[in-house]
Every structure is written in C-alpha cells, then in structure tokens.
Structure 1
Amino acid sequence: MSTAEHAELARERAALPPLGHGPFRRRLHSVALIATLGGLLFGYDTGVINGALEPMKTDLGLTAFTEGVVTSSLLFAAAFGAMIGGRLSDSWGRRKAIVLLAALFLIGALTCVFAPGFGVMVLGRVILGLAVGAASTVVPVYLAELAPYEIRGSLAGRNEVMIVVGQLAAFVVNAIIGNVWGEHEGVWRIMLAVAALPAICLMVGMLRVPESPRWLISQGRHDKALEVLGTIRTPQRAQAEIDMITEIAEMEKNRVHAGWSSIRDSKWVRRIILVGIGLGVAQQLTGINSIMYYGQSVLKEAGFDSNAALVANIAPGVIGVVGSITALWLAQHMNRRTTLLIGFSLTTVCHFLIGIASILLPVGNPLRPYVILLLVVLFVGSMQTFLNVAIWVLLSEIFPLQIRGLAIGISVFCLWMTNAFLGLFFPTLVEAIGITGTFFMFGVVGIFALIFVYTQAPETRGRTLEEVEEDVTTGAIYTHHLRAKADA
C-alpha cells in the first residue's frame, strides 16, 4: 500500500460514525454470547477428562497407554477439525459451520456417555475433537468479523473466557460428582453427560443469529451484508463499514485468491501464516493444557491425595477465569505484542520456579504440595491473563479475508498437533524426568518463544481488519513492526 493509500484508509476509519448505544449493541452482545457457547463446550470437553479419567480407567480397564490414547484422541482429531472447520467456514459460511460443530458436540458427548468400551470411547472423543477443533477456528473468526474495531479485542476475546469458564465448570462438576457419587460405578458418564445441554443451546441459538457480514461481502452478497450489519450497528455506521469493507475486498481480490494458491503465490501470506503457526505452537509449549488435562495427576505427584487433588484442581480453574476476564480489559488498553511479551516472561519464570521448588522441597515435605499448587495457580493466572486471549484474538485478526478460515485452520492445526503430542506423552514425561525436569524443559522453550514474539509478532490493536489485511498482503505490517521496534 502506498503512503497516500494508507493515509486515505486511515482517514476513512477515523471518519466512521461513532458506535453509539441502543438495542443494536445488546443484539451484538447476545449474538456473541450464543456463539461463545462453542468456546464453553471446547473448555468443558477438554477439561472434563481431568477428573473423569481416574474412574473411567477402572470401569473400562484402561492401561497407561490406552489412557493416553483416550486423552489425546480428542486432541489429534481437533487438529483436523481446525483445518476442516476453517475450510467449511470459508465455503459454507461461519454460521452454518458453527451449527454443524454444535451437532458434532452433541453426538460426540452422547457417544462417550454410552461407550461400552475403549473403542467406542475413542470414537466419541474423536467426534468431540472434530467439534473442538472447528470451534477453535470458526468462533474467533466469526466474533472478530462481527465486532467493530474499537471493541474487537474484548469481543473476540470472550471466546477464550468461555473456554476457561467451561474448564472451570468441568473441574467443579468433577469435584462435586466425584466426592458425592465417587463410589458408584460409571460416575464418569454423568460427568461427560453434562456437555449435552450447552451443545443443544448452541445448535438452537445459532439458527437465530446472522451470518458474518464480511463473509457475505466475500461472496458478493452486499445487500444481505448491509442488512445484517444494520442489526448490530447504527444505520450510518453500518453503511460506512460496508463501503470500507467492500473497497478493500475489491482491492484484495487481485492480490489474494481464495484457497491454497494465495499461499503459493504470495511470500507475505506465507510469512503471516508462519507467524500464526509460531504463535499457536508457542502457546501450547507453555504446557498450559497439560495442567488442564492432567492437573489432578500433577497435584498428586506434588503430594496431595486423590480427593484433595480433585478439589485443589479447582483453584487453577478459578484463577483462569479471573485472568481471562482481566485479559478482556487488557485487549482494549494494551498492545498485543506488549501483552504477549509480558505473558511469556511470567510463564517462563513460573516454569523455572516450579522446577526449583520440586528440588528444594522433596517428596514428603509438608510444604511441597501447597507451594507447587501456588506456583501452578500463578502460572495459570499469568497464562490466562496475558497469553491465551491475546493469541486467539491475534489469530482472528492477522489473516486476509479471502483465506481467513483456511489460514487460521492451518495455524490451529499446528497448535492442536502440538497439544495432542503433549497430551499423549505428558504422563510418560513426568514419569521419566519428574516435575522438575518437565517444567525446566517448558522454561527453556519459553525463552525461545519470547525471542519469536519479539522478532515476528505484528501489532493489530486499534486498527480495522481491512487495514491489517492491506498491510499483511503488501508486507507493510513488517515494516511498521521494525519501525516500532526502532522507535522503542
């Protein structure tokens, strides 16, 4: 983009009518609430295994290996669900894709609840994984494309809040059911069955919400896009946004083609996808989801007994929700890059402190379980406050409209594959090198993540998706990034 074109686009953004207040704002927040039920299901279905696994092992006769398969089958399937969901959302639309994944959430939950053995359980977890992966790509994109740029960070970030609310709900449900009915056979089936209700609500709710106006414009349906945007903006603001989105979409058609050809033909598109992959992989290599899936096992290793670990495991869930709500405020007031640099610094320090504590407080020391629990809570709080929301928001912002679903699908595919391998091998890793070695390893990886974010992550806060897209496809976003570092 030339300097003159860039200045013109900035003037258009500045000239947009103010958001204003009225029923359309309530409508926008209602639509966001319904869509983020996908995030709630994402969180519940990934977190419920934390407490359901122990009684499930006994009932289904799982070995250490099949235990890992049950846990990681959802994660491997989620990687492919991310790719499939991204492509479907580009071709079918964001709304239809979310309706489909709601159906998968329901079918997968019921399959797991009634699973007679290991094989059917894995099948149910695979179906859930496809839904979780699709939700992790489609829902953030849908929210980002609906949101006005002034509040895009906080609106798109609500999905991550709902994910951790879902995980906390899973931990609380597990603790209640496990302590009240823990002696009954098949108690884990009740834990898994709870997910059916929000799946039904998501399916019904998405039938009543609008399609993404930006996706409609990419399909040439400008009148419908204006009609949709008019329900969540003032009439003047809706028309002004449609004009801006249409202008950039027309300009980008010749520069970014739908599908894989744009990745092949544009070095700038390839680069931003590599940035997206790096952000997703770095997030997972903090080990956050190892805590979410195996938190009870980690706390037992730290010195808690089984029931105490189940209850203590609620604490990281609570701090995760508090951190994510705080992150919504940060998304509106702190640059994305700054947030990520603080987050990776804090999580890396926590990793090393957990490793040091496990050396200084050997097994049998009465302080060991409580100190490690405190450090785990601090780690989860740092992660949810500074990293999770910021990374998911950034992934929903940085890709061009024509390939947004495909590009975020590729990035999240790599994220989920990293997640899956950690889920599969984390118990073996802890058994082989203990808490000390495992968290020291995460700490070293965190140092590399900091270097990657400092050198590669772009800044998107306070800019329209169209401005970001124009700069990404011309490479200007990297020039701005280098200039910002030089000024700093």
Structure 2
Amino acid sequence: MLENTLSESTSQQSKVVSSQASKSRNFQAIKFALIAAFGGFVFGLDAANISGALRFVSSQFELTSMQTGNVVGCAIVGVILALFFTGSLCQHFGRKKVLLAIALTYSLSTVISAFANSYEMLVVGRFIGGVAFASITVSAMYIGEIAPAKQRGQFVSINQLLITLGSLVAFIVNYFLVKSMGNIEALTDQNIWRVMLGFELVPNVIWFGLLLTIPESPRWLMSKQRNTEAEQVFNDISDPAEVPAMMEDIKQTIAQDSNTSVIQQLKLLFSKPMRFLVILAVCYAVVQGATGMNAVLFYAPTVFEQIGMSVEDTFLQTIVLGAVSVLFTLVAIFTVEKWGRKVLTVGGLLLITVAHCSIWYGFDNATYVINQPAIETIAEQGVDANKLIPFIGKDYHSDVELKTDLASVYSKKELPLVSGAIINASININPAFVLFGLFAFLAAFNMSIGPIMWVIFSEIFSSRVRSVALPFAALVQSISSWSIQQFFPWQLENMGAANTFLYYGGVAFVGCFVMMLILPETKGKSIEAIERQLVKQG
C-alpha cells in the first residue's frame, strides 16, 4: 500500500515537472517569435506615422498627388529592391544576422526622414526604410522555422498582430501631437511631422537589443550542418522526445542539396513540380496587396477627411481603426488553428467585398454644396474662405469636381491644410455606410488575408527553397501593394473615392472566387508534408 502511494506521488511529481518544462519551452518559443515579429511593430509604426505626417509634408514641400504617392510608395520600391537580395543574405548569413542588419537600417531611415530638408531627401529616407520592410518576410521565415506544426499558424500570425499594434501606437501618438498643436508652441505645421517620424527611433533601438537575445533558426543551422546547435535550439522550444524525429524529417529534405546556391533554388522553385506552389503564392500575394489595405493604412487621415471630418477627428478615428485591427488580428490568432486557413481566407475576402461596396455606396451618394453658411463655417476654422466666393451656389455630385475647383484657387501649400475643412462644411453624406465599410474591411483583412498570407507562405515552401521562395512571394505582394500606395492620391484626385473603393471591392471578389478553387488546407501539417502534398497536386 505504501509502495503504491509512493509510486503515485512520484508519478504526480513527474507530471508536474514535465508540465512545467513544457510550459517553459512554449514560453521560450513564444518569446523568440515575438522578438522576431517586433519588426512588424516597427513597420506598422512607420506606416501609421507617414499617414499622419502626410498632410503636413505635402504642405511644406508643396507636393503634387504623384509626389505624395512617391513619398509613400518609394518605401515599397525599397522593399522590392531588398527582396532581390534577402533570400541570398538569409541563406548565407542566417535569419538572425539579417534581422539585426534590418533593425539598423530602420534606424538610419528614421534619422534621415525626420531631418529631411527637401522632398528628395525625404524620399531617400523613406526608400531606405522600405529596404528594412523586408523584416516582415524574414520574421515570417524565422517564425515558421521555429514554431511547432500545431501552433505555426498562431505564431506566424503574431507578425500581423505586431503590425497592427505598431499602427495603433502611432495613431495614438499622432493624435495627441495634433491635439497639442494649439497648446505647445514648439509644435507647428512645419515640424510636427518630424516628431511623428522621429519617434520611430525608440522602438528601433529596443528591437535591435532584443534581437541579440534570440537563437539562430534551427532549420538554417541544419542546412549548414550545425546539427548540435540546431538540436539545442529545438530542445529549448520543443518536446525533447519529439526532436530526433523532427530533425530526421528535416534532414531528409535538405540532405541532397544542403548547400544549394540561390540560382539552383530559383531553378527548383520555378520547375514544373513546384508550379502549383508558385501559382498559389502569386495569386494570394496579388489579392492581399491589391484589396486596398495600404490605402487605408498609409492614408488613414486622408480617407477619413473624405467623409467630412475635422483634422482632429480624423486622427481620433485612426485610433479606433487601429484598435479594430488589433482586436481582429487576435481573432485570427485564436481561430487560425481551429477554423483553418482556407475558411478564414475565403470568408475574409467575401466580407472585404461587402465592405468596399458599402464604402462605394456611401461616397457615390455624397453631394457637396458651397453656400454662405458653409463659407462662414470654413472661415471660422482659419481658412481663407474668400477664394470660395466664385463657387457659391454651386452643387457638386462628386468629390473629384469639388477638388478640381479647390485646386484652381488654392496653392499646393494651402490645399492639403484646407481641403479637410472645406469638405467638412460642404458635404452631404450618410457616413454610416463609409464608416461601416472601413471598419468591416479592417476587421476582415486582419482576421484573414493579412496574417494568413504569411502563414501560408511559411508553410508551403520547404527549407530547400524557402530562402528564395518567401522573398519572391513577398516581392509579388510588394509590387501589388506599391500600386495601391503610389496611385491612391492620384485615384482620389481623378477617379474619386467611390470608384477607387469599388475597384478594391472588385479585386476582393475575384480573389475570393480564385482562393475558393485553389487554396488547400494546411493546418496541423509539417512543412515537409505540406510541400509533398502540393507538389503532387501540381
């Protein structure tokens, strides 16, 4: 009897110790994933900061709509350039060292952008920051290689969560900066944007310090035949009993070409057996980039301005926007392993289609009237309303018509600062359709194609080609996103808000149909098993 009691006690103690060890390993994996994904936080911070700074930058440097697009879009050009080298650098130096270099590049970009004394210098700073945006790809690569198969979707989705958190922090900081302009004498139209952009230096330095504490990717270590180091990393983040089988599976995928060159990987990636993988990645990347997320993220105050909100209100609404993004990214993290990648993707795209149609309907039914009460309201906000007198009694049935007349009487320096007040006083719109559409779009994107794209990309390519496949897929997504960022100001000026969002809705609808047909379910499977399945399908 005593022996049985002692045996049961020993067994219970063993279970407790085992459970504690398991929690410790899981904590380590989560910690490493969060640190790697912190580059997403910096990316989100940068995107939201430039959205707040844009109105003041456009005024100070008297930018055209295309130049405004360049200030935002040049960052994606930097991404596109970086992605040609990211795969080779990751393969040669490892994921950790590349992430450290990216953190330093972010800091350089921040300093140049905040102290820019010309449009050209700002574009250079933003371009360098774009090079650092490759952190999203490298982070997804790193996380996908350390995360357990059953939790990989949640781990990679952390990338999107950090992007949304970064955006939220920037929206909050920008709002309080704008709100303080009348109370803090040092904050003016000429320098507030420098404070917005310069704030990024703080998280940049923090991220660099945190990156020094993470291990190298164990799969990369094995590709370099550093198996002992890889085993130690796996033992820190996985059940030691499962490590031998896990390492053996990885060995089989890299045994034949552990030192494959980038050129050889590219040839393998675009070979016939992997054709389906490439088509799937390209389709997903194009759809994710072209549904309009970067228009809302990088131009958030501008979008809210179209509804007729004041400057302060537009910045306040961006905080709500950021909070919605964070909330629904958390939904994705907690449902991606339960509902699966395909259900979230198709459902998300369907909701995005509905959201953009709602935005289109709201803007398409808006009218604008310049009358005496409107002019008096505009004048009360410190705008020179006398220039609007020739337009008294004129009705506008689209924002394009109104903006054309405004551009004829206000200079490029004045227009970015006065257009919001004029739209606010002259618009007749039911904002509920637009606001519902905007927030529904943000919710749908962040619980579906935003984070799920990186989950899919980290899963469908094995270590044989991942160093070139992820940058390639990200390159396609970047080009798609660049087209949105670059031309959104031009679209607003020439197509109008209604038709611009209707176009995004059309992209989402087509994407929903395509993903329904070709996207497989990958949850709970190892990277190697997923590739074997999809290569056979191709």
TM-score (norm 1): 0.89
Q: What is the identity, as a one-letter code, of the residue corresponding to 1:142?
A: Y
Q: Quick one: distance in 2 between partners of 1:24 and 1:371?
A: 47
Partner of 2:395: none
- The 2-side partners of 1:107 and 1:179 are apart by 28
- 2:267 corresponds, among 258, 261, 265, to 261
Distance, in Å, in 1 between the alignment partners of 2:172 and 2:105 is 24
CA distance in 2 between partners of 1:152 and 1:356 (Å): 39
Amino acid at match of 2:501: F
Amino acid at match of 1:476: K
Note the C-alpha offset of 1:157.
0.8
Asked if 1:464 is matched to 2:526, the reply is: yes
In structure 2, distance between residues paired with 1:288 and 1:368: 23
Q: Distance between the aligned counterparts of 1:286 and 1:322, measured in 2?
A: 20
Residue pairs, 1:389-408, within 5 angstroms = 389-408=451-470
- After TM superposition, give the deviation of residue 366 of structure 1 in Å: 5.7
Compute the displacement of 1:221 (Å): 1.6
| Alignment partners' CA distance in 1, 2:107 and 2:207 | 10
- Give the Å deviation of 1:223: 1.5
Kindly state the Cα deviation for residue 397 of structure 1 after the two structures are TM-superposed: 1.1
Segments of 4+ in structure 1 off by > 6 A?
Answer: 17-20, 251-257
Aligned residues: 458
Q: How does 1:269-418 map to 2 (within 5 A)?
A: 269-363=274-368, 368-418=430-480
Change (3 A) 1:87 1:254: closer
Once the two structures are TM-superposed, the CA of residue 136 in structure 1 deviates from its matched residue by 1.8
Matches within 5 A, 1:153-164: 153-164=153-164
Measure the CA separation in 2 of the matches of 1:60 and 1:427. 16
State how far apart, in whole Å, the 2-side matches of 1:159 and 1:311 are: 25
Once the 2 structures are TM-superposed, how far is the Cα of residue 369 of structure 1 from its aligned partner? 3.1
Deviation of residue 24 (structure 1)?
A: 1.9
**Shift in Å, 1:151:** 0.7
Identity %: 26
In structure 1, the partner of 2:179 is 179
| Paired AA for residue 467 in structure 2 | G
Shift of 1:357: 2.0
Q: Does 1:104 align with 2:115?
A: no
Aligned partner of 2:168 in structure 1 is 168
Is 1:74 the counterpart of 2:80? The answer is no
Shift of residue 294, structure 1, vs aligned partner: 1.4
5+ residue gaps, structure 1: 1-16, 479-488
The separation in 2 between residues aligned to 1:462 and 1:256, in whole angstroms, is 30
| C-alpha displacement of 1:101 | 0.5
What is the TM-score of this pair, normalised by structure 2? 0.81
SS in 2 for 1:21: helix
Q: Distance in 2 between matches of 1:219 and 1:255?
A: 11
1:425 Cα offset (Å): 0.9
Provide the secondary structure at the position in 2 that maps to 1:161: helix
Q: Distance in 2 between the 1:256 and 1:52 partners? A: 43
Amino acid of the structure 1 residue aligned with 2:294: N
Which among 184, 204, 207 is matched to residue 209 of structure 2?
A: 204
Deviation at 1:75, TM superposition (A): 1.5
- For residue 477 of structure 1, report the CA deviation from its aligned partner: 4.3
- 1:111/1:205 CA distance change after superposition, 3 Å: same
Query: Kindly tell me: are residues 255 and 95 of structure 1, through their superposed partners in 2, closer, same or farther at Cα, counting changes over 3 Å?
Result: closer
Shift of 1:440: 1.5
Gaps of 5+ in 2: 1-17, 369-425
Q: Deviations over 1:194-232 (max 9, x none)?
A: 111121122121122101111111222211111121221
Q: Are 1:43 and 1:164, in contact at CA under 8 Å, matched by a contact in 2?
A: yes
Q: How does 1:415-454 map to 2 (within 5 A)?
A: 415-454=477-516
Q: Distance in 2 between matches of 1:421 and 1:259?
A: 28
Query: What letter corresponds to residue 153 of structure 1 in structure 2?
Result: G
Describe the shift of the 1:452–1:268 C-alpha distance in structure 2 as closer, same or farther (beyond 3 A): farther
- Determine if contact 1:304/1:369 at 8 Å carries over to the other structure: no
Query: 1:111-155, CA deviations, whole angstroms, 9 ceiling, x for partnerless residues?
Result: 1111121121111101100001x1121100100100011111101
Aligned partners of 2:295, 2:220: CA distance in 1, in Å? 35
The alignment yields a C-alpha RMSD, in angstroms, of: 2.2
**Residue of structure 2 equivalent to 1:122:** 123
Is the partner of 1:461 in helix, strand or coil? coil
- Of residues 318-327 and 246-255 in structure 1, the stretch that sits farther from structure 2 once superposed is 246-255
**Which secondary structure does the structure 2 equivalent of 1:331 belong to?**
helix
- The aligned counterpart of 2:230 is 225
Distance 1:470 1:65 in 2: 46
1:138-153 to 2 correspondence within 5 Å? 138-153=138-153
Amino acid at match of 1:160: Q
